[in-house]
């Protein structure tokens, strides 16, 4: 019976699925925390680190991971991509065990865009007075230009994510395979000629998970929100001074009454 777990095909391994849903969540979170210059800037920066390290881990997994997670499996030559596009335009795209050729190239575009967004975000934060590891000596010019690129690339990313979801829904509609469910369970309905991918050692995924967690922890530890903190302290000092003045006035008024 199609969709039955005993007959379904294991396609997406755990690292690929965890990577995907964490990435989707963090990218959305960062889209809505980017404008803030206060406490949310800290959340935005830390989520950005996590995205950056997840990207590095995904690239490593694309070389050393399970079959369908590998770039070599889903990056198809132009001739095959064109043929896929032709069939897609006839509304009868073929089913693929892993990513279809168009989806595969879209993934590269998204990964590269996200890498650019993370790098320019870190460079822009330097301009805001944040101490970012590896980017200590960055000039004001570079960090200002990075801020512009960061904002444009983040907007482009939202468009890409929208196209990506439309592509996913379109694939589901045209092939009948619910690939959103597949990205959750890791399993697809087998069809003619589809074979399961041999599993590889879980330790590789564990090494990458440790790299992402420890790397993010280290980056956070090395980061200082000097000016951001100062701003808060300055505000706090202004506030205290105002309070003291108010209190003095109050006492004076009280004394006059006497």
Query: Interface residues with ligand HEM (CB under 6 A)?
Result: 16, 19-20, 23-24, 27-28, 58, 69, 99-100, 103, 107, 110-111, 161, 164-165, 168, 179-180, 183
Which of 45/100 has CB closer to ligand HEM? 100
Which of 100/143 has CB closer to ligand HEM? 100
Tokens representing 36 are 């803030």
Partners of residue 187 on adjacent β-strands: 10
Write down the least CB distance from residue 19 to ligand HEM, Å: 5
Which of 54/228 has CB closer to ligand HEM? 54
H/E element, 128? none
Q: b vs e for 36-50, b when ≥16 Cβ sit within 10 Å of the residue's Cβ?
A: eeeeebbebbbbbbb
Task: Report d(CA 2, CA 4) in Å as an integer.
Answer: 5
Write down the least CB distance from residue 127 to ligand HEM, Å: 25
Which of 43/236 has CB closer to ligand HEM? 43
Which of 183/209 has CB closer to ligand HEM? 183
Task: Report d(CA 94, CA 198) in Å as an integer.
Answer: 23
Write down the least CB distance from residue 209 to ligand HEM, Å: 15
Burial class (CB in 10 A: 0-12, 13-18, 19+), 233: exposed
Write down the least CB distance from residue 84 to ligand HEM, Å: 12
Write down the least CB distance from residue 203 to ligand HEM, Å: 19
Tokens representing 128 are 């805001």
Which of 55/126 has CB closer to ligand HEM? 55
Tokens representing 155 are 């907007």
- Residue 25: CB atoms within 10 A of its CB come to 12
Write down the least CB distance from residue 104 to ligand HEM, Å: 7
């Amino acid at each position: 019976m199609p969709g039955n777990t005993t007959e379904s095909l294991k396609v997406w391994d755990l690292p690929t699925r965890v990577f995907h849903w964490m990435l989707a969540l963090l990218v959305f979170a960062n889209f809505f925390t980017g404008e803030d210059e206060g406490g949310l800037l800290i959340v935005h920066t830390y989520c950005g680190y996590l995205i950056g390290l997840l990207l590095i881990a995904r690239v490593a997994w694309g070389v050393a991971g399970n079959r369908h997670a590998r770039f070599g499996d889903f990056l198809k030559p132009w001739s095959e991509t064109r043929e896929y596009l032709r069939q897609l335009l006839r509304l009868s795209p073929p089913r693929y065990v892993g990513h279809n050729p168009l989806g595969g190239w879209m993934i590269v575009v998204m990964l590269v865009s996200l890498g650019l967004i993370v790098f320019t975000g870190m460079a822009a934060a330097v301009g805001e007075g944040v101490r970012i590891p590896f980017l200590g000596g960055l000039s004001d010019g570079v960090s200002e230009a990075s801020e512009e690129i960061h904002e444009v690339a983040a907007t482009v990313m939202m468009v890409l994510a929208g196209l990506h979801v439309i592509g996913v829904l379109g694939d589901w509609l045209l092939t009948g395979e619910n690939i959103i469910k597949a990205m959750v369970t890791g399993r697809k309905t087998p069809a003619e000629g589809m074979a399961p991918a041999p599993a590889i050692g879980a330790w590789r995924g564990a090494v990458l998970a440790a790299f992402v967690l420890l790397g993010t922890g280290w980056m956070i530890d090395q980061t200082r929100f000097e000016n951001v903190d100062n701003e808060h302290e300055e505000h706090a000092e202004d506030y205290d001074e105002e309070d003291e003045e108010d209190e003095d006035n109050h006492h004076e008024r009280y004394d006059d009454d006497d």
